[in-house]
Structure 1
Amino acid sequence: MFLYSLIFPIISIMAIVWFAFRYLKGKNSIITTVLWTLFWIVVAIFSLFPNLSNQFAKLVGITRGLDFIIILVFIILFYTVLRLYFIVDKLQNDLNTVVKQVAIQNEITLDDEEE
């Protein structure tokens, strides 16, 4: 048995527990908690049963299991970056709206400066 077959399931359990506590404290949504839990379960399963990745790879037409895992990680990373981009874009638009509203409320005219 390989060392990663012992380490990754332990890390997965710790991560799942950590996300569960964050959900209970209200810091994570249920969707985030479920998605991360599924991710860490898949990590644990692939580390305990490495040949399983070969079977999944053949289902989608990829020759090696490691290639399947790398492609899967790239898809997850791309989704995460895209989601973060949309969040930052929305925050930037919200910030611009707030700044415009504050600027309009605190408008300084030329008459105010002369006094």
Structure 2
Amino acid sequence: MESLLLYQVIVLIMAVIAVVLFAVRYKNGKTNLSTFVVSIVFWLIIVAIGIFPESTTYVAQIVGFRRGLDLVFVLAIVFLGYLLIKINMRLDSENEELTKLIRKIAIDNEESLDDDKKDN
């Protein structure tokens, strides 16, 4: 086997660090199983592309692209779009929960103010 190039070693190191970080997050309950599995699959694909860069050209031609780099860019854009949608949905959910909490606190404070006025 040929020796690995510098970028291939860097990709391997980054992948190992990322998988370890996701494993720690999963162990601590900060991420769910599906996110953990998807992230491991993602980093395995990155490692495969890093070690066998010519494979992207082969897969790209099967899918209909001329070059492997075109396929990688399109997949990266799709992935980033997915992340943006997911983050936006999470923000909407957090905003909704925050609004409900603020309303509940406001109602509770109004009720306690009414009780204080009745006592005086």
> Normalized against structure 1, the TM-score is what?
0.88
Q: How many residues are treated as equivalent by the alignment?
A: 112
Runs of 4+ in structure 1 deviating by more than 4 angstroms, as ranges, are: none
Matching residue of 1:69: 72
Q: Distance in 2 between matches of 1:79 and 1:93?
A: 21
> Normalized against structure 2, the TM-score is what?
0.84
Q: Distance in 2 between matches of 1:20 and 1:7?
A: 20
Instruction: Tell me if 1:80 matches 2:94.
Output: no
**Deviation of 1:2 (Å):** 3.0
Q: Distance in 1 between matches of 2:91 and 2:55?
A: 37
Deviations 1:15-58 (A, max 9, x none): 11221122112222111111111111111000000010011111
Alignment counterpart, residue 61 of structure 2, candidates 58, 63, 74: 58
Alignment counterpart, residue 34 of structure 2, candidates 10, 31, 36: 31
Matching residue of 2:23: 20
Aligned identity (percent) is 31
Counterpart amino acid of residue 91 in structure 1: E
Q: Any unmatched runs of 5+ in structure 1?
A: none
Q: Distance in 2 between matches of 1:96 and 1:22?
A: 28
Counterpart amino acid of residue 69 in structure 1: V
Q: Distance in 2 between matches of 1:65 and 1:34?
A: 25
Q: Distance in 2 between matches of 1:46 and 1:87?
A: 31
